Chain A
């Protein structure tokens, strides 16, 4: 019986400790959530953490100087679709800074973002942009310069699955846009090109980060395809001697749309703050920081400063080749649409 009584006392004591600990820490956490100052919540895509970690303090300082008010900014990061889904289900983000036009549009369709959100800020509400580019191994052994080099028999590519990743969708659309131009719209030839293109994929990771890991750390494939900003960041992260960035002569324009989530901002009493925060992204200071993270920007002064960093390339818009994002999604990515047909065997 002593065994069981020792056990029982132990169990009782630990249960008590758990109960007390729970109550105390529960209170700490709920009180921590009540902030004294106004707090802006920015919901963003998953690789933008360091970017906004750099921009937020600058904005906070600027706001305090202008309005004499101290504010807090919180960040939420995740896959852009998952972030949009969370907002639709009640995540009270004041602003969104996404990397997919379709995800902001989904919020607009749900009535959370103004219908005319693309006109609310300059440049289609996209304070910065990028394109799809290649990262190849040192010396570019397979001689990859443009999209048609990717369908050669001995080339293996890594890019995320267009079904799960917006990044992967851009890659697919960029290749399609190239083929459309190359074959003068001959549907059969475009599809043949795309079929070979998709067959040369070595691994389909679910997201951009996974694809990077496959290419860099697992040593798979000859070329990694991702946003230009990403491949540059990856190159500086993993050693500029081992990899080269190739920006193809023709590629797709990738916009990084922003919007105020009207209903939430109003409810949180942050409408002015939200508007101002997004406008700030267009300021020269912010644009310089963005360029530092390898994004292409609009501010003329900054564009000139960073001219060497961004090679000239012909960027086409999704709208010109595919009509609209809606049509691109419907014709290519939905279940049973072109992407599925091209991968069928």
Chain B
């Protein structure tokens, strides 16, 4: 049966508009980055990428992202379950509090962590006297990255779980399924793509975060320099090719994550077709 917007003309027009606008608005900047990165040839690009400081920055950035994702995942699912499956006083407040990271500009986010855990902060002073250093070391970078990225999973899940309602889960529980079984068998299949989007966004933001991290990292090369900080450093140094090589790597990480998602999607749909 025909669906809305299936008329060939409408279809072509909409696809055309979407492609054209995205090309201008999103693809062109991407192309510009790669054009800059390879502007002096593949060899120069490779030299910049294989430099020890760049490699360390790539490693640190990925590790931070990998640590951030599971934490944000657990929190996001728990919060989405809480606010969409139960009503209780303060629910809206809770749901709004999770948006704080969107409301705080990244530099300020870094600053508030620094004021609390830095040497002069009330927790930081105690930590310092016990010789524990969180700020200007990788734990500090992890902390602000979690702060900046924690809304994404919850934010993706909440509208969807709200729209879906809880009838299916209620049915499962009424039929005697345990809470975990219900979650794994009923909820998860329903929210899987939103969950994946959430993870992808979390990852993307974690990898690319600059403002908050720059405040708490100390930017010590080979130690606490993440890829975005390294990139900024190269740019400051008039090494535009090096800077854009790092930018190209970041764009590549984003595209790879997306490819992974597409792969999973494809595999799942194939299995479905066989059974």
Contacts and interface: CB of A to CB of B under 8 A. Distances in A.
Interface of A: 1-4, 6-8, 10-11, 15, 18-19, 21-22, 25-26, 29-30, 32-33, 41, 46-47, 49-50, 74-78, 82, 86, 88-92, 207, 209, 212, 233-234, 237
Given A21-B63, A86-B215, A90-B119, 12 more contacts: A4-B192, A6-B268, A21-B66, A22-B70, A74-B222, A77-B221, A88-B118, A88-B120, A89-B114, A89-B120, A233-B238, A237-B238
B235 interface: yes
Interface string B63-93: 1001101100100000000000000000000
B237 interface: yes
Given A29-B60, A77-B219, A86 B120 contact: no
A18 B66 contact: yes
30 contacts: A2-B271, A2-B275, A3-B269, A4-B192, A6-B267, A7-B192, A8-B188, A10-B264, A18-B69, A18-B70, A25-B62, A25-B66, A26-B63, A26-B67, A29-B59, A29-B138, A47-B237, A49-B233, A74-B221, A76-B219, A76-B220, A77-B219, A86-B218, A89-B114, A89-B118, A90-B119, A90-B120, A90-B124, A91-B135, A92-B136
Interface residues of B, number: 47
B214 interface: yes
Given A29-B138, A76-B219, A209-B236, A4 B124 contact: no
A90 B118 contact: yes
A75 B275 CA distance: 59
Interface centre among A7, A15, A74, A82 (most CB of B within 10 A): A7
Given A22-B67, A74-B222, A90-B136, A3 B272 contact: yes
B69 to A, nearest CB: 6
Contacts of B133: 90, 92
Contacts of A22: 63, 66-67, 70
Contacts of A6: 267-268, 271
A110 to B, nearest CB: 9
Interface centre among A8, A30, A86 (most CB of B within 10 A): A86
Interface string B122-148: 001000100001011110000000000
A234 B118 CA distance: 37
Contacts of A46: 233, 236
Contacts of A3: 189, 268-269, 271-272
A86 B135 CA distance: 9
B95 interface: no
B25 interface: no
A91 B141 CA distance: 13
A33 B138 CA distance: 10
Contacts of A74: 220-223
A29 B189 contact: no
A270 to B, nearest CB: 15
A233 B236 CA distance: 12
